[in-house]
Structure 1
Amino acid sequence: MAMEMRSPAVLLVTFLSITFLKTCLSEETLQLNDDVLGLIVFKSVFQDPHRALDSWNEDDESPCAWKFVKCNPLTSRVSELSLDGLGLSGKIGRGLEKLQSLKVLSVSNNNLIGTITPELALIPNLERLNLSQNTLSGNIPSSLPTSLQFLDLSRNSLSGPLPDNLFENCSSLRYLSLAENRIEGPIPSSLLECRTLNHLNLSGNHFSGNPVFTGGIWLLERLRTLDLSNNVLSGSVPVGMAVIHNLKELVLHGNQFSGSLPADVGLCPHLNRVDFSNNLLTGTVPESLQRLKALSFLSLSNNFLTGDFPQWIGQLSSLEYIDFSNNGFSGSLPTSIGVLKSLKFLSLSNNKLSGAIPDSLVGDYSSLSVIRMRGNAFNSSIPDGLFNMKLDEVDLSRNELTGSIPPASSKFSETIKILDLSANNLTGTIPAEMGLVGKLRYLNLSWNHLESRMPPELGYFQNLTVLDLRSSGLFGPIPGDICDSGSLAILQLDGNSLTGPIPDEIGNCSSLYLLSLSQNCLSGPIPESMSLLSKLKILKLEVNQLSGEIPQALGKLENLLIANVSYNRLVGRLPAGGIFPTLDASAIEGNLGICSPLLKGPCKLNVPKPLVLDPYAYGNQMGGQNRGINNKRSTNFRHHSFFSVSAIVAISAAAVIAIGVVIITLLNASARRRIAFVDNALESMCSSSTRSTNMAAGKFILFDSKSSPDWLSANLDSVLNKAAEIGEGVFGTVYKASLGGQGTMVAIKKLITANTLQYQEEFDREVRILAKARHPNLIPLRGYYWTPQLQLLVSDYAVEGSLQAKLHDLSPSSPPLTWPNRFKIVLGTAKGLAHLHHSFRPPIIHYNIKPSNLLLDENLNPKISDFGLARLLTKIDKHVVSNRFQSAPGYVAPELACQSLRVNEKCDVYGFGVLILELVTGRRPVEYGEDNVVILSDHVRVLLEQGGVLDCVDLSMGSYPEEEVLPVLNLALVCTSQIPSSRPSMAEVVQILQVIKTPVPNRM
């Protein structure tokens, strides 16, 4: 009978029986029975679903033949026990203390739970202990075997602080990993007793403070790997590294280290990996780094480093990975960067670099596979050789690059997967060779000046998921074979001068999630083949010259959530099914005759015209003998009769139409103006005329400051410089500036000008209302600058970063937000929105809730920015609404259809609900896969219906109380209800959250 089937009572009897027999057996037999007994007792608490331990039999005299057990051949005692990856579950129980000769115990990658039993310290000769990749919890015991050389407890759920005396007897310890747990508090100073330590990994915990350095971490002279990443360690990184001569890896990313980089970091000659990314470091790059000839990985990203890009970078000949992104580096790239023939990854995005991209960077011998230079001020042409390399990703977007797009070579075509050249000054045509790029998944050439036809070769892409050619100067027709591959999920051609009909072949785009053709000069009917796009969720056709009726078959698109056909020449009834009966007026207005009770204009139906027959059409009834004589008379008679009937019908119809026009004119003169606007708008959009305006001098107003009112006027060019740009949103571009004479950093938002309030008195009144919105969870508005052509808003500058950065834009190994911090963000955001909604009349609507508009302070308290900007518009400008969805996909309330004028508090509640889902799951609201698109709210709702909603919770945040997470998820789904009236107010949301957080007595 197997031991795991026996009761505890039987097990106890067996244990006592064997103990009793010790008086009757030889010493060798006793030892063997101790090993058997210890392993059987150890096994008894496990569940073994794969029966991996079936060979363990209590009747055997020795365990040396058992699987996963090794014995010392001289003593026949168990020396090694390796149970890695067997799918075992249960707790680590008693029994192992019987194995007095055990040196290696490895039970990694199983499903063990519970705490680490203190009895492990009773194994006197244990040298290697590996319990990694389980679900062990609780504190780490205060004592460890003194003979331990290797200890790996990583990737569990261990918590609490480390005991101060944990490492007092660690003179033999060489390898220590506690990575990816939930350990908090300071790093014990007793760690410095481990003078033989080679590998130290404490990453992915909640260690805080800076005793690890002030206590003398550099005294561990034998260290080869030091990884303290993804904690909350703070303070400076002091000098003194020169004593660690053997150090090969220094990984400190994802903490709160401040100050300068250590000047002597380059004095560790064997360093091959240095990672200081995602900290608060300032200053310049130490020149000592150029000594590290063995360095292959260097990341300084997401700090506040400044100064010129190091010109000596070419001396680090072994470099394979460089990431300097999201800093303040300036100057130009040295030509010596081309010497780095081993370089595979180069990211310099979001700095202030300028000049040319060196030709030396490209070449036949280069190993580069990823180039990211987004958000700088490079102003050269794209090097010709760049498109002759084997690259996986190229991102040169948001620069000032000029010239044409080079033709793609066969090497480039075979490997490139992501190509982003958007927001530059590129001209010329789209090379036909682009159609030969077989692995390309993402292509973005938007916001350029290409003045090109769409090459038909674009239809040859076999793997393309996203094609973004917005505002790129395209003209001519849309190629009929653009969707031949069937893989496109997003097709954006907005803001061009495309003409002709939408091709019927658009129905071949079977994977389309988003189709946006707005603001072009497309004509003809909407193809009925669009009804085949079963996955389509967003359809944007506004501001074109489309005519006829909307095909009724489009009502069969069950997944369609957003549609806009406004400002075309459409007539007739809306489709009876799908989203069309619920469309807002703004999604259908500006047409020639769409029939809807929401519109006050004319309704035109395509009904058959009156049938007019000629009474002589079927031949003359006179005799044949008279036919020739009367032929002329007969002809005249027929003509006269036809004219009379036709005239009567025409006159009658004209009279009816005239009367109708008069009535409609008297009832609603604005309808005729809207129809006239369609023709004028279309004519102006399809023309090539350009306009220029002269900016008038404006006045700078600060509400609570004594700064010179002329400071901003005198410094506009430097303030609104691309180098000072720190962000771009739906309502405009944000710049960082130092307030004149005060040294105070502020954020300045340059608003979009179209439809902004045109009178300073109105603008001043609305801005002052927004400035009164003071709350701990709001970013305060400080002042403004106004001219009829330029409006700027001044607010506090936040250096702590946004929720977007904390959730998505950090490296994969960065510390995730814990559940308490995520709940704090949810509650703080709710309080800020409730203040906007309920403390003002009329309420202040944010209109654009999303993670990038939530800034975090040093304690991770949220502060809402960009609130109430819709108040500054006379109406919701089409630029805002057409770009709002692209800047925050998934956050737009369904009733808005991206174009609604009915902005109310429930739109913010919807966005807040999506924000909760993003915080709890760690996923983006919309995720684009190779074959599908996942809408987060739909995904969570389905899991809830199936009873597995906790499967979507972000496991990286560690342990979480289900009694809090479940009601928060339910609240999110209520907030994202398709029916606005079903959503709670933000005041109710705050009350619900406070109830959820209320402690329950004796809650575990």
Structure 2
Amino acid sequence: MGAMLKMKASVFSLLTFLVLAPALTRSLNPSLNDDVLGLIVFKADIQDPNGKLSSWSEDDDTPCNWFGVKCSPRSNRVIELTLNGLSLTGRIGRGLLQLQFLRKLSLSSNNLTGSISPNLAKLQNLRVIDLSGNSLSGSIPDEFFKQCGSLRVISLAKNRFSGKIPSSLSLCSTLATINLSSNRFSSPLPLGIWGLSALRTLDLSDNLLEGEIPKGVESLKNLRVINLSKNMFSGSIPDGIGSCSLLRTIDFSENSFSGNLPETMQKLSLCNFMNLRKNLFSGEVPKWIGELESLETLDLSGNKFSGAVPISIGNLQRLKVLNFSANRLTGSLPDSMANCMNLVALDFSQNSMNGDLPQWIFSSGLNKVSFAENKIREGMNGPFASSGSSFESLQFLDLSHNEFSGETPATIGALSGLQLLNLSRNSLVGPIPVAIGDLKALNVLDLSENWLNGSIPPEIGGAYSLKELRLERNFLAGKIPTSIENCSSLVSLILSKNNLTGPIPIAIAKLTNLQNVDLSFNSLTGGLPKQLVNLVHLSSFNISHNHLQGELPAGGFFNTISPSSVLGNPSLCGSAVNKSCPAVLPKPIVLNPNSSSDSTTSSVAPNPRHKRIILSISAIIAIGAAAVIVIGVIAITVLNLRVRSSTSRSAAALTLSAGDDFSRSPTTDANSGKLVMFSGDPDFSTGTHALLNKDCELGRGGFGAVYRTVLRDGRPVAIKKLTVSSLVKSQEDFEREVKKLGKVRHPNLVTLEGYYWTQSLQLLIYEFVSGGSLHKHLHEGSGGNFLSWNERFNVIQGTAKSLAHLHQSNIIHYNIKSSNVLIDGSGEPKVGDYGLARLLPMLDRYVLSSKIQSALGYMAPEFACRTVKITDKCDVYGFGVLVLEVVTGKRPLSTWKMMWWFSVTWLEEHWKKAEWRNVSMRSCKGSSRQRRRFQL
């Protein structure tokens, strides 16, 4: 019995051990699970969009292999957590308090929000806290630093903390780095901060702190960097700062410090960066400044320093950046500064300095030189005369608002590395040197407000990197050079208040980056190039007070141009000047195909010296009878010929040699014609022989053949020779309809330039579009389907805009198809052949004739019914077919039935291939594989 009891007890003990063993194991090593638990709780409070914490799992026994986690090799406890720049969001929860051995916590450059836990600093082993670059807010509780233990680095920069800096910060005697910059901390600093003797870096910049620096600053003997910039500190700098002998960086800029600089600062022999700009310091620049031989950057700008620049500045041989701008300095630069051979940037602008500009400036390898707004008179001509490779290093030269006179140095082209040249507001005379064209890197050229004369040199086009050109308020004359088109990066073109003449060159329309143009107060003439509407980035275009004429460009910026920008041009017309434009601005010129440029005789006065011939009565009767017989024969012959050759007179009327001219006088001769150019261009007479030259034929359509010819000014035009003369309305109706079409202006419509009329021949003159038709781009190239999706969308959008504009003008296209959509050199669509059916008296019989079979497939069913009124909906139908053609790259078929079959079957086929039915139409959240497959 006893043995039985002992056996049962043994079994029970074994079972108990097996059940409790895991719990006993955990109790013997609880720390391992504390770290896992703490990090899992921390992860639950944040969102990880990049999935960087996906390796963190509560099933792991240790977090030492997790991303961003570092453990001690001895204890396997977490000692570092570094999760910088992972776009983490959410709050910093209490889970981190479980990491009792944590030494470094770095969560910088994320999107964490909320306040900071007051218990975080209670982690006794924590040495580094970096929470910079987040969106943490609120105030820091005073107890945060009361148990800071061995904390050495605290960085809360670039957050939204506000309120006072906790006074408990003074208790962290081991702190070496404090960075609380770029927050909203306010009020004075706690005095205890100045007693943190271990402090090496103190950055409190870009806050709302105020007050003075106390005298106890000498306690910071280990201080290397102090940055108090962009606050509201005031008072003077205490003498004790000279005791911080290890200081290398001092930045007190953008405060309200005042008084003189303390002499003790000359002890800061290790200082290489000193920025005191935008304060209220006064007095002379101290001579001891030359004792700071380690200085590389010295910025005293924006203060009230006066007097001359001390000679001791020449001792700063390591100096790279020197900025004394916006003070009250006088005199000239000391020659000793030539010893500062490492200078890169020199700025003495906005002072009262005079004397000469020293020559060493242009031979010392400087990158930036600014002496703007001083009283310097001499020294600009001499330095440019020398040569040296150091010239190439100068990139920024600003000598504006001084008293320089004489001519701009012709050798300025030696400064080949210049990116900015500003010589404005001086008294320079003479022409702009042609050497400006040698400045290939120049971005900004400002020669405004001088006494410059002559013309703008064509060589200006050599400075092709120009982004800003300012030449206003001079005495420049002549034309704006067309070479300006080479400056393709130009954003601002300011030429106002000069004596410029001639037209505004079309070259300006090629500067597609232009935003600001000011040509006001000149003597410019002629019309505005219509191509200016292509300047899509324009925000201002001032042409006021010139002698410009004609119609303002239609479209783009010019639809909303300010009336003040066009004042003072009496001959301009358009809505901006509240003056309507006539249909034909100049007097129409008249075409007489039978005239000759050599026929200059009209009526010749009789020569009194010629002998008068007196005929007898019988001779007169004989001559009269013969004339009657001849006239009768000619009349019968002419009548017969008119019947037989009514269709050939149109060609005969065009049989012109290249030298033929057009008569400018109206005529009633049956063989004469009337030519009207809406632009008033009298030079249409050249190239008309091309109309009978097959080599110049561009294509044929339902309304006629199209030919290309070139005007005398070199401008190409397209001429449509209508082949439906028997159907054309009367001359009065024809001209009324054509003039209406000539008034239509839109960037996506081919412009109608003019027309020619005879009873048997009609010509329409259009702008020439060089890129070919949409039909050619879609169907006639090697491989087909050249156009990218962006280009196809642009074509569809531009075509839609053009049709909308036509319908707003009560014009129906009637013949929309891909061969009537042209592509210009910049890839923009231009719709042609619009409104031509209005020239015909019987539309219903014409549109179904064999002459426009190419439009079948695009034509709405209404065209087949004579009783239905044709409306703009027919254009919409054709546009829909065009959209299908552009999207699919397929040709519309020759019958409506086949076209419908094509549309339905093609779309149904691709619909099935796309497996679109598997994709949610409500949320469009199908898999990426499904979305990729649904691509036509």
Match of residue 963 from structure 1: none
The farther-off stretch of 398-407 and 313-322 is 398-407
Match of residue 549 from structure 1: 550
1:70–1:80 contact (8 Å) kept in structure 2? yes
1:173 to 152, 175, 182: 175
Q: 1:362 to 1:486 in 2, by over 3 A?
A: closer
Match of residue 748 from structure 1: none
Q: 1:65 to 1:532 in 2, by over 3 A?
A: closer
Structure 2 distance, partners of 1:476, 1:269, is 60
Task: Say whether residues 1:82 and 2:82 are aligned partners.
Answer: yes
Q: CA deviation at 1:416?
A: 2.0
One-letter amino acid of the counterpart of residue 558, structure 2: L
Structure 1 distance, partners of 2:517, 2:366, is 34
Q: 1:379 to 1:629 in 2, by over 3 A?
A: farther
Alignment of 1:104-143 (within 5 A): 104-142=104-142, 143=144
Structure 2 distance, partners of 1:437, 1:263, is 46
1:496 to 498, 502, 507: 498
Q: Which has the higher contact order (CA 8 A, sep 6+)?
A: 1
1:405–1:431 contact (8 Å) kept in structure 2? yes
For these two proteins, the number of residue pairs brought into alignment is 581
Match of residue 488 from structure 2: 486
Structure 2 distance, partners of 1:555, 1:254, is 44
Give TM-score, length-normalised by structure 2: 0.58
One-letter amino acid of the counterpart of residue 557, structure 1: F
Structure 2 distance, partners of 1:555, 1:69, is 58
Deviations 1:919-963 (Å, cap 9, x if unpaired)?
Answer: xxxxxxxxxxxxxxxxxxxxxxxxxxxxxxxxxxxxxxxxxxxxx
Structure 2 unaligned regions, length at least 5: 1-19, 596-600, 606-614, 625-665, 667-936
Task: Say whether residues 1:560 and 2:561 are aligned partners.
Answer: yes
One-letter amino acid of the counterpart of residue 177, structure 1: N
Q: CA deviation at 1:580?
A: 4.4
Q: CA deviation at 1:464?
A: 1.5
2:519 to 517, 520, 535: 517
Match of residue 419 from structure 1: 421
2:393 to 381, 390, 393: 390
One-letter amino acid of the counterpart of residue 140, structure 1: I
Match of residue 207 from structure 1: 209
Match of residue 575 from structure 1: 574
Q: CA deviation at 1:629?
A: 12
Q: 1:192 to 1:518 in 2, by over 3 A?
A: closer
Structure 1 distance, partners of 2:604, 2:398, is 76
Structure 1 SS opposite 2:223: coil
Match of residue 449 from structure 2: 447
Structure 1 distance, partners of 2:544, 2:134, is 55
Structure 2 distance, partners of 1:53, 1:228, is 38
One-letter amino acid of the counterpart of residue 203, structure 1: S
2:544–2:564 contact (8 Å) kept in structure 1? no
Q: 1:603 to 1:595 in 2, by over 3 A?
A: farther
Alignment of 1:630-645 (within 5 A): none
Structure 2 distance, partners of 1:70, 1:110, is 20
Q: 1:112 to 1:525 in 2, by over 3 A?
A: closer
Structure 2 distance, partners of 1:325, 1:627, is 107
Alignment of 1:237-386 (within 5 A): 237-363=237-363, 366-382=364-380, 383-384=383-384
Structure 2 distance, partners of 1:505, 1:270, is 58
Q: 1:356 to 1:410 in 2, by over 3 A?
A: closer
One-letter amino acid of the counterpart of residue 48, structure 1: D
Q: CA deviation at 1:310?
A: 2.2
1:571–1:595 contact (8 Å) kept in structure 2? no
Q: CA deviation at 1:201?
A: 0.4
One-letter amino acid of the counterpart of residue 423, structure 1: R
One-letter amino acid of the counterpart of residue 512, structure 1: L
One-letter amino acid of the counterpart of residue 575, structure 1: G
Q: 1:128 to 1:532 in 2, by over 3 A?
A: closer
Q: CA deviation at 1:606?
A: 4.5
Structure 2 SS opposite 1:523: strand
Deviations 1:18-73 (Å, cap 9, x if unpaired)?
Answer: xx999723666211111111111121101011111111111211111111111111
One-letter amino acid of the counterpart of residue 379, structure 2: S
1:228–1:252 contact (8 Å) kept in structure 2? yes
Alignment of 1:208-223 (within 5 A): 208-210=210-212, 213-223=213-223
Q: CA deviation at 1:449?
A: 2.0
Match of residue 148 from structure 1: 151
Task: Say whether residues 1:402 and 2:401 are aligned partners.
Answer: no
Match of residue 430 from structure 1: 432
Match of residue 165 from structure 2: 162
Q: CA deviation at 1:595?
A: 6.4
Alignment of 1:828-843 (within 5 A): none
Which has the greater radius of gyration? 2
1:488–1:512 contact (8 Å) kept in structure 2? yes
Alignment of 1:517-916 (within 5 A): 517-546=519-548, 548-551=549-552, 553=554, 557-558=558-559, 560-561=561-562, 563-568=564-569, 570-571=570-571, 574-576=573-575, 579-581=576-578, 606=586
Q: CA deviation at 1:369?
A: 1.1
Q: CA deviation at 1:444?
A: 0.4
1:32–1:61 contact (8 Å) kept in structure 2? yes
Q: 1:454 to 1:91 in 2, by over 3 A?
A: same
Q: 1:483 to 1:459 in 2, by over 3 A?
A: same
One-letter amino acid of the counterpart of residue 461, structure 2: G
One-letter amino acid of the counterpart of residue 157, structure 2: S
Q: CA deviation at 1:552?
A: 5.5
Structure 2 distance, partners of 1:41, 1:627, is 131
Deviations 1:205-233 (Å, cap 9, x if unpaired)?
Answer: 111111xx225123211100000111111
Structure 2 distance, partners of 1:562, 1:151, is 60
Q: CA deviation at 1:609?
A: 9.8
Deviations 1:358-417 (Å, cap 9, x if unpaired)?
Answer: 001221xx342111211111111313159933222111110111233334677732x322
Q: CA deviation at 1:429?
A: 2.7
Deviations 1:101-150 (Å, cap 9, x if unpaired)?
Answer: 11111110111111111121221111111111011111123233220011
Give TM-score, length-normalised by structure 1: 0.54
Structure 1 unaligned regions, length at least 5: 1-19, 582-593, 597-601, 631-644, 646-1004
Structure 1 distance, partners of 2:487, 2:418, is 17
Structure 2 distance, partners of 1:290, 1:21, is 77
% identity of equivalent residues: 36
One-letter amino acid of the counterpart of residue 377, structure 1: K
Deviations 1:231-271 (Å, cap 9, x if unpaired)?
Answer: 11111112222211100011001111122222222211100
Structure 1 distance, partners of 2:202, 2:246, is 13
Q: 1:527 to 1:447 in 2, by over 3 A?
A: same
Structure 1 distance, partners of 2:515, 2:86, is 43
2:547–2:571 contact (8 Å) kept in structure 1? no
1:595–1:604 contact (8 Å) kept in structure 2? no
Structure 1 distance, partners of 2:25, 2:168, is 41
One-letter amino acid of the counterpart of residue 496, structure 1: N
Q: CA deviation at 1:193?
A: 3.3
Deviations 1:776-798 (Å, cap 9, x if unpaired)?
Answer: xxxxxxxxxxxxxxxxxxxxxxx
Deviations 1:144-173 (Å, cap 9, x if unpaired)?
Answer: 3220011111111011012223222x2211
Structure 2 distance, partners of 1:95, 1:555, is 60
Q: CA deviation at 1:603?
A: 15
Structure 1 SS opposite 2:328: coil
Structure 1 distance, partners of 2:475, 2:602, is 55
Match of residue 776 from structure 1: none
Q: CA deviation at 1:489?
A: 2.0
Structure 2 SS opposite 1:51: coil
Q: CA deviation at 1:281?
A: 1.7
Q: CA deviation at 1:306?
A: 1.3
Structure 2 SS opposite 1:151: strand
